[in-house]
Structure 1
Amino acid sequence: MMAKTSGDIKFNNGQRAFHTHNKVAAKSSHTKIAAEDDNRPKLRLGFNSVNQIHRQLLVTADEHATSGYDSGFDAQDIDQLSDDMYWLINNEKFSIQGIDIIDETTKIPLGIHTKTNGANTISLDEIEHFPEDLNIYLYDKELNISHNLKESDYTIYLAAGSYLNRFEITFIEQATLANTEFENNKIDMYFSNSENSIAINNPSSIYIESIQMYNLVGQSVFNLETKTKKVISHIG
């Protein structure tokens, strides 16, 4: 710096230029725009265990993902809890999953383990950018129940252990499909007041391996190994 006369030169904050804040503001603005432009369908599924442990899972539909493992989209369930729920990809446990599409053909395998007997609840914590007419079901294969999570939570009694092939998230009612097949096979069940028991009519001689009954909270109350094609007149 050069000056024509002598004397002190003083600077104050009003003469300073601050560029750092402008750069941060620009970055924050860009991040906000990127978030607003993310219109991918997302589903956050909640699990509340008998021991009051909560786990939340995330699945996102992205055209660059697949139903298998995708680096950058899927995150493994590293901090496994004593009671836990997870997506199953190639028999591995994940808390975040990306898939290519979510529609009525989509099925997402779901695993659960619990260390204590008791009631556990699966809930729909949050959905983003989902078609309003697309329902979200928790399908219990063992009980053949499709429960619409958009309408209410699903509470099920589970004995302590792991359930790796029982539950899945679907977007069409699977139990209806199974019941249609059952009805086409013409097996009739009814309660006989005179005999105070359940009667099973099997006119097509369909092979029946076993008969299991559950109460409304999912507890097994009856199990009969039959291995027969005969008409079972009465049980119970």
Structure 2
Amino acid sequence: MKKTTCLLVLICAIFFVELSAQDIQRIYLNFETNTGFQRQLLLGFTPDNVATDGYDYGYDGGTFNDYADDFGWIIEGNSYVIQGVGEFNTNKYYPIGMFLTNSVDVTVSLAELNNFEEDIDVYLYDVELDSYTLLNASNFTQTLQADNYIDRFYITFSTTAHLEINNNLLSVEDNEVASVNIWYSKSNNELYVSGIFNSAGALLSLYSLEGKKIIEEKISKEEHTLNTSEISNGIYIVIIDSDTFSQSRKVCIAN
């Protein structure tokens, strides 16, 4: 499975290189921590909208490494290093996730713009601070606590994107999805889930990055604890499902 997924990432990378004649527009971002970790992301804008903002086989390449800290485009609840989308539009915005098991200093920088006839503005929008960083002019740097940041950071191309982003987040909260919190305690060897569930009997499922279901438990109250002492160390996907919503998070278990 790992060979297959790694091959998919390679195919996506080759795809964007070989289609240069069609003027694929590319944005490269660099992510670094003060612990020495580095990751580069690619966002490619395809002619004639042949790719979408959702998952597109052959256009999107996932992250499949078991790193303690990581960074990726968020597509349908999963993390990707390569994202292919439609034609460039200044009104678009794209969520990026930061998955940190350490409290670190993070830096996000604009590495390269490719095939744009004119320079475009690339911003990192921080929902919590309600602030924009123009990555063309300066890097985004911040000290972040260990956590999974899914709905906090976005790449935008204007300083008005927050109006739609915040409206969408409010809609999510109305459906009681955003109230679900998932975090891991290394000291207690436990995974915690808290929040408001509209229906009893929500399910917590833990999957490996290869897609293997490790465990599934019913959730019948607003707080739930999963003992992880018998689970191998690594990166996992936690999925919470109920009759009214589904939410996933990436967690690092290090017993």
TM-score over 0.5 for the alignment? yes
**Could you tell me the percent identity over the aligned residues?**
33
CA contact (8 A) 2:91 2:161 kept: no
**CA separation of 1:156/1:67 partners in 2, compared to 1, >3 Å: closer, same or farther?**
same
Q: 1:176 to 1:84 in 2, by over 3 A?
A: closer
Letter paired with 1:52? G
Rounded Cα–Cα distance in structure 1 between residues aligned with 2:56 and 2:111: 24
Q: Distance in 1 between matches of 2:69 and 2:87?
A: 29
Specify the alignment match of 2:44 in structure 1. Answer: 60
Distance change in 2, residues 1:128/1:80 (3 Å): farther
Separation in 1, partners of 2:26, 2:139: 18
- The 5-angstrom pairing of residues 61-100 of structure 1 reads 61-62=45-46, 63-100=49-86
Confirm whether residue 115 of structure 1 aligns to residue 101 of structure 2. Answer: yes
Q: Note the C-alpha offset of 1:103.
A: 1.8
Unaligned stretches of 5+ residues in structure 1: 1-32, 179-236
CA positional deviation for 1:67: 0.4
Q: Name the structure where strand makes up a greater proportion of residues.
A: 2
- Once the 2 structures are TM-superposed, how far is the Cα of residue 127 of structure 1 from its aligned partner? 1.2
Q: CA deviation at 1:130?
A: 2.3
**Deviation by residue 1:124-172 (Cα, 9 ceiling, x = unmatched):** 1111012435200000010011110000111011001110010010000
Tell me the secondary structure at the aligned position of residue 24 of structure 2: coil
CA distance, structure 1, for counterparts of residue 161 and residue 27 of structure 2: 22
CA distance in 2, matches of 1:34, 1:113: 31
Give the TM-score normalised by structure 2.
0.53
* Aligned position for 2:92: 106
Structure 2 residue identity aligned to 1:57: L
Change in CA separation of 1:34 and 1:97 when aligned onto 2, cut-off 3 Å: closer
Instruction: Extract unaligned runs of 5+ from structure 2.
Output: 1-16, 165-255
Number of the residue aligned with 1:124: 110
Rg larger for: 1
Query: Measured at CA, do residues 113 and 38 of structure 1 come closer, stay the same or move farther in structure 2, by a change above 3 Å?
Result: same
